[in-house]
Amino acid sequence: MDTLRTEIDAVLESIRPAIQADGGDVEFVSFNKESGVVQLRLLGACESCPISMRTLKEGIEKRMRQRVVAVTEVQAV
């Protein structure tokens, strides 16, 4: 699990500057190894942004699935 967490964190760190530039941020909550689901918390401007789910699915999830084979989905909590 440590290796997977490191890979997930690396993806989040690569995305974080763009999200922070718009006044938001993203925080890791959990990863379910059986289902491959990563749960994240959107913070700052992302909490109320009308396109935050699009950012989550088309941006974060897409990149996460490309770089971390075990990830099948990213969800906001």
- Residue 67 CA to residue 54 CA, distance in Å, equals 19
Q: Please give the CATH number for the structural domain made up of 2-76.
A: 3.30.300.130
Domain ranges of the chain: 2-76
What's the maximum distance between 2 C-alpha atoms anywhere in the chain? 34
Rg (CA), the chain: 12
Which residue, among 66, 76, 56, has the nearest Cα to 10 in the 3D structure?
66
Instruction: Say whether pTM exceeds 0.85.
Output: yes
Q: Which residues contact 30 (CB under 8 A, 6 or more apart)?
A: 38, 39
- Per-residue model confidence as pLDDT tens digits over 16-66: 999 999 899 999 999 999 999 999 999 998 888 888 888 888 889 999 999
pLDDT digits (tens, 9 = 90+) for 63-73: 999 999 999 99
Beta strands in the chain (DSSP E): 24-32, 37-44, 73-76
